[in-house]
Amino acid sequence: MKKTLIVLLLLTLSFQVVACNKTNTSQDDIESTNEKVVEETISPEEDAMWQQIFADKEDRENLITKITKFNVASDNRISITYDGVEREGLIFFPENVKGSPLLVMLHGSGMSMEEFIDMIKINDEATARGYTVLYLQAKTNPDDKTSVIQWNNGTGLNSNDDLGFIQAAALKAEEKYELDAYRTYVAGFSNGAFMVHTIAAEGNSTFEGFCSVAGDMQEHSWESKKEYIELSFLEIFGLKDDAVPSNAAGTAKFAQAPAIEDVMNYYGNTQKLTLHDPVSLSDKVIEYTYDSQESEFKVQCVAIKDCHHGWPEERLTTLNTNKYVLDFFDSLNK
């Protein structure tokens, strides 16, 4: 969506230059022509696109001003002040930092960043592939210090502005380290994966690519999801994961949240992508892909048989989850 905004601004500027050069045309004639062009050419879908693009731009500019501290210590720990609230992160760099893609990682409920890093062990491979990796830390409910550490994905878990914080932290890292703003991605596990869906449905265009492992979109986000999106999304889930309602598993009919298949259809169909026939990667792993020759974006869903809630292990599922996730993001870099 960032690229779309630049193209649209250039087209707008070009039109204004042409209009100014028509010295024999009165201002009233130009305004009348403009109104006629808008009436004849702007469809409801295009109107939604324009509104979303400029709302996103304004939101990004507003969010980054809420970061008043972003200090990195020698142990890679970051002290962040967002909207007056102290937050934490950990950042790891590739050999060449400037111009590198950014991968933001969100842990699960009750976890720390360190526990998440130790659990999935994706760090070394990600930085070796050239990613700057930023882990962010969720907080307890400020109104209940005994509550569980978790991301506020809009379901009333706590009152922390995690939607704003995560996007603002990514934007600040982009700015501070001169990262590639067109290659900024976010991935999460469990509660962090639910947060990824919230960002995709309700956030601005900070992130170009998303990955949810064992997560789904919450009912609140589903009801307020955007009409216009430009993004790539990867979902990995187990067919025996009770936290991810699925039509295929027969669990969606018992859930308030939408079926994961409906969520993936939203990401794909809203962008007019084509769903291809499923591909069996093994006797346990099925891959679904939405894409189009006319679009740089794609949507993928990986369903794993006999897999419960967790970050899938290759020895149990045949899927090398870390490699698959990084391969997905790598494919967006081309």
Between 44-64 and 162-177, two packed helices, what is the crossing angle to 10 degrees? 70
Q: Facing residues of 302 across strands?
A: 236, 287
Between 2-21 and 44-64, two packed helices, what is the crossing angle to 10 degrees? 110
Q: What pLDDT, on the 0 to 100 scale, is given for residue 247?
A: 96
Please work out, in degrees rounded to the nearest 5, the angle formed at the alpha carbon of residue 46 by the alpha carbons of 43 and 49: 155
- Burial of 265 from C-beta contacts in 10 A (0-12 / 13-18 / 19+): middle
Q: What pLDDT, on the 0 to 100 scale, is given for residue 200?
A: 97
Between 162-177 and 191-202, two packed helices, what is the crossing angle to 10 degrees? 80
> Cα(278)–Cα(286) distance, rounded to whole angstroms?
7
Structure-token pair, residue 170: 């990514």
Instruction: Look at residues 139, 93, 90, 141 and name the one whose alpha carbon lies nearest to residue 116.
Output: 90
> Cα(143)–Cα(328) distance, rounded to whole angstroms?
39
Give 186's Cβ-side CA count (13 Å radius): 27
Distances (CA, A) of 43 to 195, 210, 255, 271: 32, 28, 36, 16
Q: What pLDDT, on the 0 to 100 scale, is given for residue 255?
A: 93
Is residue 245 within 8 A of residue 252, CB to CB? The reply is yes
Structure-token pair, residue 131: 């990613």
End-to-end alpha carbon distance in the chain: 17
pLDDT in tens, the chain (334 residues): 565 554 444 444 444 443 444 444 455 554 554 544 444 567 777 787 788 788 888 999 999 999 999 999 999 999 999 999 999 999 999 999 999 999 999 999 999 999 999 999 999 999 999 999 999 999 999 888 789 999 998 777 788 999 999 999 999 999 999 999 999 999 999 999 999 999 999 999 999 999 999 999 999 999 999 888 999 999 999 999 999 999 999 999 999 999 999 999 999 999 999 999 999 999 999 999 999 999 999 999 999 999 999 999 999 999 999 999 999 999 997 6
Instruction: Look at residues 97, 49, 45 and name the one whose alpha carbon lies nearest to residue 76.
Output: 97
Is residue 267 within 8 A of residue 200, CB to CB? The reply is yes
- Burial of 269 from C-beta contacts in 10 A (0-12 / 13-18 / 19+): middle
